[in-house]
């Protein structure tokens, strides 16, 4: 027994050491992500401390098997899986566990965080049996590299000018800012000529800096998922489940996993559009998946890149149509489960799906 335990510990130590070295190409600098190409209609990244159950979750919701074990850093690279839902294919990225200090380049932290940055949504997997700070610590790691979770970009207009000095305007009396403050910050960032309009009276200094640094900020949705609820008291479970943007599950007992998937689908706000040829019923078996707030133009682009060149009008049935069918142009915004028929200029041809 002792021997096996020793061997596992040895292996663990080696893996840890390996992980703490910046890998080839990672360089410890900007921190490029893992080399996994994006595929499907959206990408979800599984982020969390070691051994919280990220790989177990991936293996539950996709056909991909990622190694699961009781020791930390079982997963050493990004493992992609495909989650099929509502006619969409969502790429789920299982990632190595991150540790405190990840943002400064500890472990593969930088790489993990870069991978999270390229995703449409972060699933922060947390261990329900561990202390409450884990959530805050992880958030801090992501914040440190410019990821903003569940926030909208601040409602502040900022335009750099060639000359003319600074022009700072507030559309309503600001609660946390004043002109002098902004002036000083802009000077620190060497933005001596610019126009600023603060449209949000609640805007903070941090938000203002985010606007200045907007090329280095990424706004991503995050769902907090507490796993291993099989090992906590009902009272504790109740507290966790009431936190905002939070779901609870037990991969071990197969509890709540579908709730997590449903919540992901809701948060991603993907839209299913069914295309229809003239005189033929739409094919409800094959949806075209587009992003929230997509227009008919986006729908055309996702069918074929030249389709809009011959576009004349579209007929729309469904929630986005004022009456059915509504005849619309390229700028019409579609809704989930709309049926769309694209009519081209040449022969009045309806669409073909891809
Ligand atoms: N009690 C309990 N254990 C679980 C649950 N889900 C996973 N585990 C166990 O937790 C351990 C770690 O699971 P992994 O899936 O390897 O965790 P991970 O987050 O991928 O770990 P790293 O890749 O090392 O970062 C394993 O021993 C799992 O069997 C759960 O719901 N309840
Ligand atoms: K593990
Ligand atoms: Mg893992």
Q: Does residue 21 surpass a pLDDT of 80?
A: no
Residue 124: which pLDDT band, with cuts at 50, 70 and 90? very high
In this predicted structure, what is the pLDDT of residue 104? 75
**Token pair for 317:** 């049935």
Q: Is the peptide bond before 325 cis (omega within 30 degrees of 0)?
A: yes
Pocket test for ligand 1, best of 50, 68, 253 (most atoms within 8 A of CB): 68
Q: Considering the domain boundaries, does residue 351 fall inside one?
A: no
Q: Does residue 42 surpass a pLDDT of 90?
A: yes
| Phi, psi of 20, rounded to the nearest 5 degrees | -75, -15
Q: Residue 163: how many CB atoms within 10 A of its CB? A: 6
Residue nearest to atom 32 of ligand 1 (CA): 228
Q: Does residue 325 surpass a pLDDT of 60?
A: yes
- Position in ligand 1 atom list of the atom nearest CA 70: 27
- Position in ligand 1 atom list of the atom nearest CA 74: 24
Query: Which of 261, 287, 226, 286 has the alpha carbon at shortest distance from 92?
Result: 261
Rounded to two decimals, the ipTM of the complex is 0.99
Q: Considering the domain boundaries, does residue 291 fall inside one?
A: yes
Residue 25 shares a structural domain with residue 139: yes
| Continuous segment of H or E residues that includes residue 178 | none
Query: Which of 88, 76, 75, 107 has the alpha carbon at shortest distance from 44?
Result: 88
Pocket test for ligand 1, best of 15, 51, 254 (most atoms within 8 A of CB): 51
> 52-103, pLDDT tens digit by residue?
999 999 999 999 999 999 988 889 899 999 999 988 999 999 999 988 777 7
Tell me the CA–centroid distance for residue 46 and ligand 2, in Å: 13
Tell me the CA–centroid distance for residue 168 and ligand 3, in Å: 49
Residue 221 shares a structural domain with residue 235: yes
DSSP label at residue 238: H
In this predicted structure, what is the pLDDT of residue 35? 81
Residue 277 shares a structural domain with residue 264: no
Query: Which of 212, 250, 246 has the alpha carbon at shortest distance from 228?
Result: 250
Q: Considering the domain boundaries, does residue 42 fall inside one?
A: yes
Q: Pinpoint the alpha helices (H) of 130-175.
A: 133-144
Residue 140, CA distances (Å) to 76, 99, 150, 247, 326 in order: 22, 11, 14, 20, 48
Q: Considering the domain boundaries, does residue 353 fall inside one?
A: no
Q: Which long-range contacts (CB under 8 A, 24 or more apart) does 333-337 make?
A: 333/293, 333/294, 333/295, 334/271, 334/273, 334/290, 334/294, 334/295, 334/296, 334/299, 335/271, 336/271, 336/272, 337/272, 337/273, 337/274
Pocket of ligand 1 (CB under 6 A): 48, 50-56, 68-70, 72-75, 96-97, 227-228, 230-231, 250-252
Tell me the CA–centroid distance for residue 325 and ligand 2, in Å: 53
Q: What mean pLDDT is predicted for residues 230-247?
A: 96
Q: Which residues surround ligand 3, an ion (CB under 5 A)?
A: 54-55, 74-75
Q: Does residue 130 surpass a pLDDT of 70?
A: yes
In this predicted structure, what is the pLDDT of residue 251? 98
Q: Of 174, 197, 216, which closes a domain?
A: 216
Assess contact for 265 and 336: CB atoms under 8 A. no
Q: Which of 102-106, 176-180, 195-199, 317-321 has the lowest mean pLDDT?
A: 102-106
Tell me the CA–centroid distance for residue 75 and ligand 2, in Å: 7
First to last CA, the chain: 58
Interior CA angle at 321 toward 318 and 326, to 5°? 110
Q: Does residue 28 surpass a pLDDT of 50?
A: no
Tell me the CA–centroid distance for residue 73 and ligand 3, in Å: 7
Q: What whole-number percentage of the chain has pLDDT above 70?
A: 90
Q: Considering the domain boundaries, does residue 352 fall inside one?
A: no
Residue 212 shares a structural domain with residue 71: no
- Position in ligand 1 atom list of the atom nearest CA 57: 15
Residue nearest to atom 21 of ligand 1 (CA): 51
SS (H, E, C) 173-235: CCCCCCHHHHHHHHHHCCCCCEEEEECCCCCCHHHHHHHHCHHHCEEEEEEEEEECHHHCCHH
Residue 73 shares a structural domain with residue 198: no
Q: Where are the beta strands (DSSP E) in 180-279?
A: 194-198, 218-227, 246-248, 271-275
Assess contact for 124 and 224: CB atoms under 8 A. yes
Residue 256 shares a structural domain with residue 292: no
**Chain centroid, CA 305 distance in Å:** 26
What ligand has the least distance to the C-alpha of 112? 1
In this predicted structure, what is the pLDDT of residue 9? 66
The residue written with tokens 């590299």 in the block is 145
Residue 231 shares a structural domain with residue 275: no
Residue 22: which pLDDT band, with cuts at 50, 70 and 90? low
Q: Considering the domain boundaries, does residue 349 fall inside one?
A: no
CATH number for the domain harbouring residue 225: 3.40.50.300
**How far, in Å, CA of 270 to CA of 293, rounded?**
9
In this predicted structure, what is the pLDDT of residue 134? 93
**How far, in Å, CA of 351 to CA of 344, rounded?**
8
Domains of the chain: total: 3
Q: Which of 127-131, 142-146, 224-228, 238-242 has the lowest mean pLDDT?
A: 142-146
Residue 49 shares a structural domain with residue 140: yes
- Position in ligand 1 atom list of the atom nearest CA 125: 19
Q: Which domain holds residue 226?
A: 2-151+217-268
Q: What whole-number percentage of the chain has pLDDT above 90?
A: 73
**Chain centroid, CA 327 distance in Å:** 34
Question: What SS3 class is residue 327?
Answer: strand
Tell me the CA–centroid distance for residue 289 and ligand 3, in Å: 29
CATH number for the domain harbouring residue 320: 3.10.20.30
**Token pair for 328:** 């619309």
Pocket test for ligand 1, best of 56, 73, 79 (most atoms within 8 A of CB): 56
Residue 275 shares a structural domain with residue 264: no
Q: Which of 17-21, 30-34, 314-318 has the lowest mean pLDDT?
A: 17-21
Residue 60 shares a structural domain with residue 104: yes
In this predicted structure, what is the pLDDT of residue 156? 97
Residue 339, CA distances (Å) to 101, 307, 333 in order: 49, 17, 12
Residue 70 shares a structural domain with residue 171: no
Residue 174 shares a structural domain with residue 315: no
- Position in ligand 1 atom list of the atom nearest CA 48: 19
**How far, in Å, CA of 335 to CA of 287, rounded?**
13
Q: Considering the domain boundaries, does residue 354 fall inside one?
A: no
> 156-172, pLDDT tens digit by residue?
999 999 999 999 999 99
Length of the chain: 354
Tell me the CA–centroid distance for residue 48 and ligand 1, in Å: 11
Tell me the CA–centroid distance for residue 96 and ligand 2, in Å: 9
Q: Considering the domain boundaries, does residue 237 fall inside one?
A: yes
What ligand has the least distance to the C-alpha of 50? 1
């Amino acid at each position: 027994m002792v021997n096996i335990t020793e061997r596992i510990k040895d292996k663990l130590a080696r893996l840890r050491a390996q992980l703490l070295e910046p890998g080839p190409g990672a360089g410890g600098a900007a921190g490029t992500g893992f080399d996994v190409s994006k595929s499907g209609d959206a990408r979800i990244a599984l982020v969390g401390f070691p051994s919280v159950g990220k790989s177990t979750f991936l293996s539950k919701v996709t056909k991909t098997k990622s190694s699961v074990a009781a020791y930390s850093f079982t997963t050493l690279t990004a493992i992609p899986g495909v989650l099929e839902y509502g006619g969409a294919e969502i790429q789920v990225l299982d990632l190595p566990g991150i540790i405190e200090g990840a943002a400064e380049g500890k472990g593969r932290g930088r790489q993990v965080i870069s991978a999270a940055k390229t995703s449409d949504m972060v699933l922060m997997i947390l261990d329900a049996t561990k202390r409450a700070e884990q959530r805050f610590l992880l958030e801090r790691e992501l914040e440190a590299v410019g990821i903003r979770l569940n926030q909208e970009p601040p409602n502040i207009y900022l335009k750099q000018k060639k000359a003319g000095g600074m022009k700072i305007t507030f559309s309503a009396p600001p609660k946390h800012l004043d002109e002098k403050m902004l002036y000083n910050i802009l000077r620190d960032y060497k933005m001596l000529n610019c126009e600023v309009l603060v449209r949000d009276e609640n805007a903070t200094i941090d938000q203002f800096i985010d606007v200045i640094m907007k090329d280095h900020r990424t706004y991503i949705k995050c769902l907090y998922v507490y796993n291993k609820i099989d090992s906590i008291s009902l009272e504790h479970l109740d507290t966790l489940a009431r936190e905002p943007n939070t779901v609870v599950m037990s991969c071990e007992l197969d509890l709540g996993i579908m709730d997590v998937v449903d919540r992901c689908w809701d948060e991603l706000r993907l839209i299913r559009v069914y295309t229809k040829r003239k005189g033929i019923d739409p094919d409800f078996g094959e949806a075209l998946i587009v992003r929230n707030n997509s227009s008919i133009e986006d729908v055309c682009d996702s069918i074929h890149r030249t389709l809009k060149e011959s576009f004349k009008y579209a007929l729309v049935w469904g929630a986005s149509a004022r009456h059915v069918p509504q005849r619309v142009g390229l700028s019409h915004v579609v809704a989930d489960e709309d049926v769309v028929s694209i009519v081209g200029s040449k022969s009045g041809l309806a669409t073909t799906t891809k």
